[in-house]
Structure formats: structure tokens, C-alpha cells
Structure 1
Amino acid sequence: MSSDDAWVGDAQPYLTPRQAGERDAWSEEAAARGRRGSQRLLAVEEVVDPPDFVREFLDLGPTDRPFVRRRLILLDGEPVEMADSYYPAHIARGTRLAERRKIPGGAVTLLAELGFTLEDEPLEDVFAATASPDQCAALGLPPSTPVLVLTRFTASTNGEPLEVSVMTMTRHLQYRQRKQAG
């Protein structure tokens, strides 16, 4: 996707469980722009040594091993993002979160089926970085290409940490902020 594309990010559809038969949020968002959004599941695995920020947010002990779902996000068949979503093992184990197959409606829908209600306003952290050699290969980028990295920290409405998603993007991203009712 070129940086000329007007793409205004709204996290809310990605935090809302889908109804039976509804497309996932990415496919729906791309279709609304006349594009085709899809994703390829690259891996689902327990992580021995997750990043410190994942360990801290998910409140993991030194030997706890979260599950990660690694995906390549495609727009019109071309890679535009790598997305790694981490889940505490006590939530993921024995569910489709820990299986190497797509989840109908996405992880948010499955979490809702498991009885979790996601908070309305997760923390998102965005920064620029240089793509790693693996990211360059997966995203079809030349060496040393800058990328945006958006990390979303999502908890349940009762404060239980549920997910850390790290999204490495090649596209321009704009955000709209909502004014809170006072």
C-alpha cells in the first residue's frame, strides 16, 4: 500500500466480536474501500522467551510461556503487515488460540465465546523502526526499510490482561480520536 492511500485507523472493529457468518474486521475494512483483505497464518506456538513488555503486561512469571499467533496480513494479495498476538497460556491452552488454524470471526470473537469482554479503550503504542531482515523478506521490502510498529495492549473489562498484539506495518496510518462524553 502506498503512503498516498487515505487509511484512517479505527481499532474498535478489531475489538468487537463478530456475528456468525460475518467477515473478520480486516476483510470487512478492506472491502469497504473496494480492496481485498486477507491473512496467512504463519505459526502458532508457545514462546519460551517472549519480549519483556509482553511478559510484563500479561503478568507472566519467569517460566510462564504465552502462546503467539503469527500472521501475515495481505491487501489485494500483497503483504502489508506482520501481526504477532500473544495470549497467556492459561487462556489459550485447549482453545483455538493454541491451534494452527484460522479462528472464525478472529480471536476477539473466540475470547467473547470464552466469556471475556474486552475493554473499550486498550493502550496502543506506535513507533517507527527499521525492518529486520526477516520482516523485509516476509513483507517484500528492501533492506533497511522503515516500518511502523503498533503494539496494542488489551485487557478484559475486569482488568485481566488478555492479549498483546505487535503489528509491523508498511502502510501510512492515520488515527481519529474520539472525544469522551463528559
Structure 2
Amino acid sequence: MNDLPWASKSMSYLDADPVAQWAAEAAEHGRAGSSRLLEVAVPGAVPAPVIAALRVPADAAVIRRRRLVLADDRPVELMDSYYPAALAGGTPLALAKPIRGGATAQLALLGYRPDRCREYVTAEQPTADERRLLQLGEHQWVLKLLRQLLHEGHPVEVDVIARTAPGRGLAYDLALPAPTPPAKDHT
């Protein structure tokens, strides 16, 4: 499978420290992977898809953790993670510093271990902010991933990931249920 394009597997980031996982993934492709925490804040405006995915009122306080992911010191991904302030306020998720073990581990420590993940993938023109931070040209697109993490059916985190598109993709390895045997023909 080494002849396939570089494709990240989301699952590997959900059960491990994402910083260490990114460094390992980048190293597999001969690159040095790193990330920078750019901001932790309660933004004035939260994108409507995030509000819908978090299932909170439009005026609800939401905490955003913004990170820039780099390969060989070049930006390849902008990741905004959103948490309901009612859940994350006053916890390490609301602090402007890296979280030991990653946010998923912190959610588990708080009693909200994600047990389900939903992802929505699109190809889009980047926003002006994404274009600037990812250092994209005028006609370059991004792969946009909206990831919803749930605990017992309730959203606890929503990630919006803008990924530089050239040379990278997403890979899914899905277990399939056993096929249902066909009904007997009674003719």
C-alpha cells in the first residue's frame, strides 16, 4: 500500500496523543511533523455547522482551540476544535497550553470519553483566514473535515479541519457486518 497517496486515518488520532501520532505519521513519509497551538478562546462568532453539530443554541458560549499542523515547518492543516463552555470551561480544554495526552484523553478524564465519531468531508475554497494561515495560492482548495465526537449520544467536541489538498487524502478502514443471507426463493 506504499504506492498509494499519503492518506491520514482519523481513528489513529482518536485513541492516541495526536501530537505524537502526527509526528509518527509524518516520519513515515520522510517528513518532520509538528504543531503549534495558536489560540484558545471563546470566539465571537461560531460557524453555523459547528453550532448544529454541537447541538447548542446559537448564542451558547463555545471554547475554540486552534492549532496549526506542520510538515517540515510548512503548514498543512488548520484544526479548530470546539467544546461547549458548559462542559469545558474551567478545565485544561479552556487553557492556552497543550493538553497532555490530547483533548480526547482530557474528555475521558472529565467523564466524557467519546464513544462515537462522525465525519463529513468536503472539498472547498478556503476561507481568507485558512488561505493566509495555510499559505495557499489563490486557486488552491482544501479538504474540509467536520468531525463530531459524541459521548452517549451527546456531542462533546466538534473539529473543523482544513487540510491542504495536494498530495494528501483521508483513508477509512471500516469493518463490515456479516452479509444477510438472501431470502429463500419459494417459487
User: TM-score if structure 1 supplies the norm length?
Assistant: 0.86
RMSD of aligned Cα (Å)? 2.1
Counterpart Cα distance in 2 of 1:97 and 1:130: 29
Structure 1 residue 17: deviation in Å?
Answer: 4.5
Structure 1, residues 98-121: CA drift from partner, whole Å, max 9, x if none? 11111112111111121222124x
Distance 1:133 1:52, change over 3 A: closer
Structure 1 residue 23: deviation in Å?
Answer: 5.5
Structure 1 residue 34: deviation in Å?
Answer: 3.5
SS in 2 for 1:24: helix
| Preserved CA contact (<8 Å) 1:31 1:37 | yes
Counterpart Cα distance in 2 of 1:87 and 1:36: 29
Structure 1, residues 6-56: CA drift from partner, whole Å, max 9, x if none? 2222111211154xxx96322232233332211111111112331122112
Say whether 1:73 aligns with 2:69. Answer: yes
Distance 1:149 1:47, change over 3 A: same
Structure 1 residue 76: deviation in Å?
Answer: 1.5
Counterpart Cα distance in 2 of 1:55 and 1:23: 26
Counterpart Cα distance in 2 of 1:140 and 1:129: 15
Structure 1, residues 48-105: CA drift from partner, whole Å, max 9, x if none? 3311221122121243111000111111211001110100111110111111111112
How many residues are treated as equivalent by the alignment?
174
SS in 2 for 1:110: helix
Matching residue of 1:148: 143
Counterpart Cα distance in 2 of 1:41 and 1:100: 8
Counterpart Cα distance in 2 of 1:104 and 1:24: 11
Distance 1:59 1:181, change over 3 A: same
Q: Which runs of 4+ in 1 moved over 4 A?
A: none
Structure 1 unmatched ranges of 5 or more = none
Counterpart Cα distance in 2 of 1:102 and 1:123: 24
Matching residue of 2:155: 161
User: TM-score if structure 2 supplies the norm length?
Assistant: 0.84
Distance 1:74 1:80, change over 3 A: same
Counterpart Cα distance in 1 of 2:109 and 2:21: 17
Distance 1:62 1:151, change over 3 A: closer
Amino acid aligned to 2:11: Q
Identity rate, percent: 36
Matching residue of 1:99: 95
Please tell me whether Structure 1 or Structure 2 has the larger radius of gyration of its CA atoms: 2
Equivalences for residues 113-132 of structure 1 within 5 A: 113-120=109-116, 122-132=117-127
Structure 1 residue 138: deviation in Å?
Answer: 1.1
